[in-house]
Structure 1
Amino acid sequence: MQLTIQASGKDVEVISFLLAKNPNNIYERNQNGHLVRMFYSKFTEEEVEVTFFVTPDPIELSRNSSEKYDITSYINDREFVVSSIFCTFLRSALGTALNGKPKEEYASWVSHAFPFKFEFGPLASNLSDKQILDLFEPLGYEVTIAYGDADYNLNLKSKSSARYITIEGLTTLQYGLRQLFVLIPVLDNYKHYYIDQKEIEKVERYGEGWLDHHPKREFILQKALRFKEVYSLVEYEKDNGGTKKSKKDNINVRLNDLRYEKIIHYINNLAKRESIVDFGSGEGKLSNRLGFVSGIKEILAVEPSESATLKALKRFEKANQKEGFLLPTTIMGSLFYYDERLKHKDVMILCEVIEHIDENRLPKIMKTILNDYHPGNLIITTPNQEYNQVYDMAEGYRHPDHRFEWTREEFYNWCNQQNEDGKYELTFDGIGKEHEHYGYPTQMCLFTKKER
């Protein structure tokens, strides 16, 4: 991954002070095993060229994605191209320029515009060349898109799909970098970190002065914040003079919260709900909420990840200080291994779990659940692949660890196949804001054991 910054004109050498990087020194930093380098290839009174390289450590990336002892680890090749991860690694090196906080004697140069050229790549993006032009040209840049050469013995294709982007225009260093730090993750198809209120604030801060006037503003927010329930919060606050959303407003609730609310709604309407198994409980967010539901006497939070379980324990410990909370029992376990303790529970939950498992392994898991554990009720939620059109996702999944995402018909057929012996009655539902053509963003099925 690399970013090259070129600038020309009178007093252009002041850029070294805006970057807080001495042109006589090679900048090299190790950030948690990932190497960030910078050097000036040109530095004269009228021309400056500086390049930043990022060399990630794939092993460290894998460890960071799931912690050292987890069995949920994976490596994604997008970590080796310009992406949100690239921006994360560079943020410290470019912090002075991004924040516009050089030494006091150079502060006036923060708002000074130079003829800049920014080059970055390789880029792996599902956006078309036209969509990329539509992102940068309204900002006044001339855009060049180049494809890398590929030497394939089988002559499968003449050019690499990786692209290298060059934008040129008159701008300040701070503006140019802030625009890149918003738009580079837009070009990429996913963000590697959790998207929350802090991420909204970062986009608002870096987008100040240009994003509100961009003709593709909504598209940028959709891609930068990924989920409509998050980016629509920006619209809500903008329309209300910057007023932060109150919980009482019940507007633009995050999709994850809507899932939990719908699951709890179904549980509250069950005749038997004393014992609950939350499979793939993660950091314990759903189990934590279940702890406040009346009528429940046992919650088993089953999770294979040690790091996630530790976070869940901290969450439960905090909630346990409140009145009326039922402390969940954490179990380090997996859907792939039978556990006698999970038999004959009133409710078993798989909330956004099955899509993280290879499809060919699902039949065995469902056989274990329905034939061995015999839960009174089974609740399954999973993404609705059709709804990705609403998120303007051309191809790919909502999370890089998803092994598949099903259409409504595929999910309906699959659930019925698991119930071939007819022991359960199936109820299908949707979660989130319904689209006229694509349905709900999350699809859900409730398996209810028939009384004999």
Structure 2
Amino acid sequence: MHLIIRATGAGAGMLSRLLAKNPNNLYDRMEKEARVRIVFTASSEEEAEAVIYVTPDPVELVKGASSAHNDITQYINDREFVVSSLFCTYIRSALGTALNGKTKEAYLPWVERKLALELTFGPVASNLPDRTLEELFTALGYEVLVERGDAEYNFVLKSRSSVRYIRLKGMQTLQTALRQLFVLIPALDDYKHYYISDDEVDKIWRYGEGWLENHPQRGLILKRTLRFAGAIRQYDSLMKSSDHLEGTQAPDEASGGMAEEEALSPPVASAAAEADAAPKVRLNDLRYAAIADVVEQLSLRRSIVDFGSGEGKLSARLASVPGVREIKAVEPSATAQLRAIERFAKLEGKAGVPVPEPVTGSLFYYDESLRSKDVMILCEVIEHIDEYRLGRVMDTIFHEYAPGTLILTTPNKEYNEVYEMDQEEMRHGDHRFEWSREAFAAWCSRWTEAYNYSVRLSGIGEFAQDYGYPTQMAIFTKEDTL
């Protein structure tokens, strides 16, 4: 993982001074279990180039991980190689002088001077399409070049790869350019390796000052850096407070002679505050509630298979549905299963509540014990399967497992526009596809024609005109159970 900063033309020689690094010396430090090196490959008054190279300790990366000894993904992942929030954490100390603009007094005028900069960094693993990625930087005045590696493939893997190298060119102060990278690199990667606290909100606010508030992709950036609605609201509050302090007026100017507190009557202010503070139900919780409602209305619901049960939240919820006596929670991840077992243990001893049985399994491996159950559930599962493999999977479900009722949910691609997502973007990096309502209905129709099932389609979540519901749900019923 690396970042190359190149300055040319007038003032280029100030690069080393603004970075507070001697261009004749190699900077070599250990920062948070990673080796950070900075070397100047060019240093003159007309051209300067600093290469920042980071080598994390792969063993330290997995120490203390919650998945230790339970999940192979702690060893097989890209965190050791890609430019991400980890990379920014490693280099923050080395670039602290430039980020904070606290250089020597003689160089302070150059903190606000724009330089002809070229910033190259990578590899970046991002699920954003090239066009969206480019828009994040072109909106800031940069020329953007997105490149992929030099490896030669005889198939489409290279064009579909999420790994890219990014080169930016533009006139910008070094401090602002670095602050933009420290906000946008985590947004590209969409993975935070640390808890998002108040300090993180404050950092985004400080680093984004002067450019983020007016960025056309501001919503996307905040969603991918702060992630949670509460943190985003906190950021917005900081912005409003800042705007208020900058534009403070005398009471009679601001509200026609009324004090600020009187400008909004107490009942109205209270109602507005309550509306703003009202918690919004998560879509995942709405899915679980909708599925539980469907199960409760079924005449046959004694035995249930929850495929892709994850940490067991849905299975635990279904245990409280009257009439349910057996739940098999099928999940391939050992880490998720351990968390599910902890959740299921809390149900032990409750009268009339069956404790779900964790089952290690996958849709790709047939399990005789899952045959002929009353209900089978695939909640947000099929989109993680390659479409060309879906036919065999569904044949196993309908023909071999033959549940009385199959409940299937999947994202509605059309609704992504409500989330202001790019047309090519998917809601999760592991999604192999996302279907429109028409495509989903066509697949469901194909399955009912091939197997002895009827289907009823519905939606889950907040309805939007022209886009439908965020989640699509299909309820398949075996004909001989009608």
TM-score with structure 2 setting the length: 0.68
Measure how far apart 1:349 and its partner are: 0.8
Q: 5 Å matches for 1:275-424?
A: 275-317=303-345, 326-390=354-418, 391-420=420-449, 423-424=452-453
Distance 1:202 1:260 in 2: 31
2: CA distance, partners of 1:323 / 1:197: 38
- The offset of 1:255, in angstroms, is 2.6
**Greater RCO structure (CA 8 Å; 6+ sep):** 1
- Residue 261 of structure 1, CA deviation: 2.4
Q: After superposition, what is the alpha-carbon deviation per residue over 1:167-209, rounded to whole angstroms, capped at 9, x for unaligned?
A: 432363xx543421222344x4x62569x98289735532337
Cα distance in 1 between the residues matched to 2:118 and 2:203: 21
CA shift in 2, pair 1:213/1:145, >3 Å: closer
Give the distance between the partners of 1:212 and 1:374, measured in 2 at CA: 59
| Aligned-partner Cα distance in 1 for 2:361–2:76 | 22
Residue 135 in 1 paired to residue 164 in 2?
no
Q: Contact 2:331 / 2:362 at 8 angstroms: preserved in 1? A: yes
Retained in 1: the 8 A contact 2:454–2:478?
Answer: yes
Task: State the match for 2:232 in structure 1.
Answer: 234
CA distance change for structure 1 residues 256 and 303 in 2, over 3 Å: closer, same or farther? same
- SS across alignment from 1:225: helix
Provide the rounded CA distance (Å) in 1 between the counterparts of 2:18 and 2:229: 34
- Does 1:53 find its partner at 2:81? no
Cα 1:129–1:409, aligned 2, differ >3 Å: closer, same or farther?
closer
1:88 aligns with 2:82: no
Specify whether residues 366 and 86 from structure 1 end up closer, same or farther in structure 2 by C-alpha distance, changes over 3 A only: same
Residue identity over aligned pairs, in percent, reads: 38
| 2:304 alignment partner, SS class | strand
Gaps of 5+ in 2: 154-158, 242-271
Larger mean CA deviation between 23-32 and 346-355 belongs to 23-32
**Separation of aligned partners in 1, 2:397 and 2:384:** 17
The two structures, once aligned, show a CA RMSD in angstroms of 5.3
Cα distance in 2 for partners of 1:354, 1:438 equals 21
Distance 1:221 1:208, change over 3 A: farther
Letter of the structure 1 residue corresponding to residue 370 of structure 2:
L
Secondary structure in 1 matching 2:295: helix
Structure 1 residue 115, shift from structure 2 partner = 4.6
Partner Cα separation in structure 1 for residue 37 and residue 365 of structure 2:
46
**2:206 partner SS:** coil
1:126 is aligned, of 123, 130, 137, to: 130
Amino acid across the alignment from 1:206: I
| Aligned positions of 1:26-45 closer than 5 A | 26-27=27-28, 37-41=37-41
Structure 2 CA distance for aligned equivalents of residues 237 and 255 of structure 1 = 23
Q: Provide structure 1 residue ranges, at least 5 long, that are not aligned to the other structure.
A: 138-142, 155-159
Could you tell me how far apart the structure 2 residues matched to 1:72 and 1:209 are?
A: 32
Report the Cα distance in structure 1 between the residues aligned to 2:277 and 2:370, rounded to whole angstroms.
37
- Could you give the per-residue CA deviations for residues 128-185 of structure 1, whole angstroms, max 9, x where no partner exists? 6972455324xxxxx233466999999xxxxx9964113432363xx54342122234
SS in 2 for 1:283: coil
Secondary structure of the residue aligned to 1:392 is: coil
CA contact (8 A) 1:376 1:448 kept: yes
Query: What's the offset of the Cα at 1:412?
Result: 0.8
Structure 2 SS opposite 1:198: coil
**2:455 equivalent among 422, 426, 448:** 426
- Counterpart residue number, 1:157: none
What's the counterpart of residue 255 of structure 2?
none
Q: 2:203 matched to which residue of 1?
A: 205
CA contact (8 A) 2:306 2:376 kept: yes
Counterpart in the other structure of 2:253: none
Indicate if the aligned counterparts of 2:186 and 2:224 stay in contact, CA closer than 8 A.
Answer: no
Residues 114, 173 of structure 2: 8 Å contact kept:
yes
SS at match of 2:131: coil
When residues 229 and 291 of structure 1 are mapped into structure 2, their CA distance, relative to the original with a 3 A threshold, is farther
Output one character per residue of 1:250-285: Cα deviation in whole Å (capped at 9) or x when no partner: 42x333233222222322333333322110112323
Shift of 1:230: 4.8
Measured in 1, the distance between the counterparts of 2:118 and 2:467 equals: 39
8 A contact 2:3–2:52 mirrored in 1: yes
**Pair 1:430–1:71, CA change in 2 (3 A):** farther
CA 229–11 in structure 1, closer or farther in 2 if over 3 Å, else same: closer
Distance 1:148 1:225, change over 3 A: closer
| Cα contact 2:138–2:144 (8 A) shared by 1 | no
Secondary structure in 2 aligned to 1:433?
coil
Q: Which amino acid aligns with 2:206?
A: E
> 1:308-359: per-residue Cα shift (whole Å, max 9, x none)?
2223223434666989864321111111222222123222111111111122
- Please report how far the alpha carbon of residue 414 of structure 1 lies from its aligned counterpart in structure 2 after TM superposition: 1.0
Normalising by structure 1, report the TM-score. Answer: 0.72
> Which amino acid in structure 2 is aligned with residue 136 of structure 1?
L
Letter in 2 for 1:166: K
Letter in 2 for 1:392: M
- Whether the 8 Å CA contact 2:36–2:91 is kept in 1: the answer is no
Structure 2: how far apart are the matches of 1:228 and 1:28? 29
The answer to whether 1:3 aligns with 2:8 is no
In the aligned structure 2, how far is the partner of 1:425 from the partner of 1:227?
A: 43
When residues 446 and 204 of structure 1 are mapped into structure 2, their CA distance, relative to the original with a 3 A threshold, is: farther
Q: Distance in 2 between matches of 1:110 and 1:311?
A: 53
Q: Give the aligned residue type for 2:180.
A: Q
Partner of 1:140: none
| Distance in 2 between residues matched to 1:317 and 1:22, nearest whole Å | 60
1:183 alignment partner in structure 2: 184
Structure number with larger C-alpha Rg: 2
Secondary structure of the equivalent of 2:342? Answer: helix
For each residue in 1:94-136, what CA deviation from the matched residue of structure 2 results, as whole angstroms up to 9, or x when unmatched? 2336888999x98999996565646123578522697245532
**2: distance between equivalents of 1:319 and 1:67?**
26
CA distance in 2, matches of 1:274, 1:40: 69
2:144 maps to 145
* Structure 2 partner of 1:263: 291
**Count of residue pairs brought into register by the alignment:** 427
Q: Is the 8 A contact 1:274 1:346 kept in 2?
A: yes
